Chain A
Amino acid sequence: MIGGRLLQALPVILLATFMVFALLKLVPGDIAVTLAGDNATDARITEIRKIYGLDRPFLVQYGAWLGQVAQGDLSQSLLTGEKVATSIGRAFPNTLLIVAIALVLALLTGIPMGLIAAVKPNGWVDKAVSLVASLGVAIPGFWLAMILVAEISLKLNWLPATGAKSFSPSPVEAIRHALLPGIAIAAYGMAEVARQLRGSLLEVLSSQYVRTLHAKGLSMTRILWLHGLKNVSVNLFTIISLLVNRMLAATVVIEAVFAIPGMGSLIVRGALQRDFPIVQGVVFAMVIVVIAVNLIADLLCAAVDPRIEQ
């Protein structure tokens, strides 16, 4: 299963990087102009196209990039010369930490909410959960982020307002910096987890075998935790894998609000300056991450539900 999935990843990577490359080349704007700087002349721009090989046909440029990647080299920024692998190596942990915190928070809040809502559907608790969940989906992450900064950082001075710290010297500082952006992204995840969990739990709880369990005299708590959760865990893993992908995408905006030098900031900078090796590198890395997340989710599903493997 794993080998086959990895093989499937290859065409996805090719297609994704090719399409992004094509998009970057199709949209107007030209890195040669940026490279030529404030005192640009027509002659200088032509010269720069030649120096950097930007005058070659589009497919040749893509091929050249692909050739380098095949040799394990993501090449370097056309503008600053920094190795793309170095940029990604520095940016990825920052993004990963935010997403990890967001995911943990979303699960810690979303799962209990879904559970208690499902126990007494249409009761006042369920309605309250439903309201909170609707808010979580409806509130834009960047707005929540700014409110959090204004209240928690600037007024109360509890957490830093901007930036990221590396995990290695001080994990506590790293988490303190990632907490607010994590919360900002987690709100949506919490809502999603609560709503999905409630839905699938209700389905399980109304099934015939649960009625049998009730008849056997099992307590509600036992039914919920032992039989209910186990049966919805397949759904839960799928939700989580979709959520991680969504949260990774959300970092593009959240990182800008918190000035976090992560994957989102990196790809925005690359795209705005038409620095295509950076954009290509980030897309490449992200495709791999997404495929890996989906693979792990599938493996977990197969582990709890043996029917899936067959």
Chain B
Amino acid sequence: MTSTTRREAMALISVALAGTALGSSAFAQGTPKRGGILRISAPANPSSLDPATGGAGSDHAFLFTMYDTLTEWDFETLKPKPGLAESWSFTDPTTLVLNIRSGVTFHDGTPLDAEAVKFNLERNKSDPKSNIKADLASMASAEVTGPMQVTLKLNTPDAALPGILSDRAGMMVSPTALKASSAGNVTRTPVGAGAYAFVSWADGEKIVVKRNEKYWKPNRPYPDGIELSIIPELTTGSRSVTAGQNDLMYQLPPRQKAIMDRVPSVKVANGPTLYVFQIFLNWAKPPFDNVKVRQAFNFAIDRETFVKAALAGLAEPAYMNLPKAHWAYDKSVAGLYPYNPDKAKQLLAEAGFKDGLSIDLLGYPDQDSVQRQEILIEQFRKAGMNVKFSNAPIAEASAAFFGAEKRGSGLLAAWTGRPDPSLTYSLMFTKDAYYNGGRAPVPAELEAAIKESRASEDIEMRRKAFATVQRLVMENAFVAPLAFQFELVAMNKKVQGYKPNLLGKPKYDDVWLES
């Protein structure tokens, strides 16, 4: 795993070519240029700039600029690849050896060595303020086995760990900064080893970062800095790009794409992501305690139409929790619930609801959510289900559904992807998982299969295990997936090199600005 990645190789080649007269003329149009400030419209204030104490999925768009991770992922498939760890290997199923890249320093000059990695992993696992203890549950200890080598002892085989280290748990924070802070966190004073160093954060207003001049990736980053303006109103955010006040906006609502396409100075990039709209079900209580009702519910959804009507066609119909592009996607599971209202009615009748049934769901009150609800209500009606939505803001609805109150039979929301799919499944489909709203038991073979998916490092073995997991989840119809949202990024035409990724959380690795 020590080979240079394709991207790095390409960068080296283009740099070499740029040095020659031939190269500079042949690549004149597309040669990345240094300089300029990338101005971004971001939809949410981060919950924290400390990877261990934050919690929102929207934080990554900020964190990735400042923190590098031990492993990284492939933009298209999310397979883990070397990051700050230039290689890793399982010497046995419960021992993971990480070889740390040499010569990397944090923004404050602290060397990023084995000691720093050990310090971070232990903090993430056991600090009382850490929100990511569960991510490292399989890690028993981290030992320094060389100046640039850390060996993780696991209490159970865990092949998901390399993927997990590409997320919060693998973001390395300067130990010097952590030890110096009185509260033991760097929520407002982040010091990482990423492409950009922190400058300032005004809550709800702006985050500014500047180029890390000592960044380890050759020639990166290109811009001098990034300014992220926090604009929660998405239409206002897109207007800021149209008006030229910002260069780039991510999470463009699908209905805005047609508008953006008409603006000559703006282009839109899109690609599939793991972000899936879905209806979480509470299978601890009626009516969803009956598997036939859950299956009927899934047969009643016309996902193709939903994508066209609710998401302007800019999404992939979801028949399970992984999209086609993912390495662990299983085609056979995708065929389990074709749109079939008659089959839904028949299953309802078998479940004792010959004359139809009323279902109370929870949802969110924003314009896009309500539109999705209206389309679904109509689809369910055709299958004999009278669905009613009670709407409340995210904090309220999700606490009511997943928390102690257990309101509603289902919740129309979304699941943001995780770098390793085992987390997606264990966080929703195990008995005590928070996102198993009813905390109701699941079949023993499902829990076993989730465990199995982490047991072997071999990708084929893992693929097989995930096929079983997905099949069991969907046969039991524990969830009603709807659609994988496309990542939609609107940007000024002078922004070059932006690539969407499957995780759907923007990274600006190769972005540069035309002058």
Contact = CB atoms under 8 A, between A and B. Distances in A.
Nearest to B246: A162
B268 interface: no
A48 B29 CA distance: 53
Interface string A256-278: 11110100011001001110000
Given A29-B392, A259-B233, A261-B205, A162 B47 contact: no
A208 interface: no
A170 to B, nearest CB: 15
A47 interface: yes
Nearest to A256: B233
Interface string A62-91: 000000000000000101111000110011
Contacts of B45: 80, 269
B401 to A, nearest CB: 10
B131 A44 contact: yes
Nearest to B407: A28
Contacts of A93: none
A37 interface: yes
A31 to B, nearest CB: 7
A147 to B, nearest CB: 13
Interface in B200-214: 201-206
B188 interface: yes
A177 to B, nearest CB: 10
A158 to B, nearest CB: 11
A183 B56 CA distance: 36
A163 B233 CA distance: 12
Interface stretch (B224-232, B300-308, B314-322): B224-232
A50 to B, nearest CB: 9
A309 interface: no
Interface in B218-240: 229-233, 236-237, 239-240
Contacts of A86: 203
B135 interface: yes
Contacts of A87: 203-204
Nearest to A30: B399
A161 interface: yes
Interface residues of A, number: 47
A236 B240 CA distance: 38
A273 to B, nearest CB: 6
Contacts of B129: 51
A261 to B, nearest CB: 4
A1 B37 CA distance: 55
Given A29-B395, A269-B204, A274-B395, A38 B243 contact: no
Most buried by A among B55, B56, B134, B188: B55
A161 B243 contact: yes
A154 interface: yes
A44 B236 CA distance: 36
A91 B73 CA distance: 39
A82 B188 contact: yes
A302 interface: no
Nearest to A84: B203
A121 to B, nearest CB: 43
A258 B236 contact: yes
Nearest to A27: B396
A33 B427 CA distance: 15
Most buried by B among A33, A44, A259: A259
A96 to B, nearest CB: 16
A34 B55 contact: yes
Given A28-B399, A90-B202, A259-B237, A38 B230 contact: no
B55 A162 contact: no
Interface string B51-65: 000111100000000
B240 A161 contact: yes
A174 interface: no
A4 B138 CA distance: 65
B231 A162 contact: yes
B399 A162 contact: no
Nearest to A51: B128
A41 interface: yes
Nearest to A265: B204
Contacts of A265: 204, 232
B14 to A, nearest CB: 36
Contacts of B230: 261
A50 B405 CA distance: 20
Given A29-B393, A163-B240, A259-B237, A38 B399 contact: no
Nearest to B229: A163
- List the 9 shortest-distance A-B pairs measured between CB atoms, nearest first: A37-B55, A29-B396, A261-B205, A161-B243, A29-B395, A259-B231, A162-B240, A82-B203, A259-B236
18 contacts: A27-B396, A28-B400, A29-B392, A30-B399, A36-B131, A37-B54, A39-B55, A39-B134, A40-B435, A41-B134, A81-B183, A81-B188, A157-B243, A163-B229, A258-B236, A259-B237, A269-B45, A272-B394
Given A42-B434, A80-B46, 4 more contacts: A37-B47, A39-B427, A154-B239, A257-B236
Interface of B: 45-48, 54-57, 128-129, 131-135, 183, 187-188, 201-206, 229-233, 236-237, 239-240, 242-243, 245, 392-396, 398-400, 402-403, 405, 416, 423, 427, 432-435
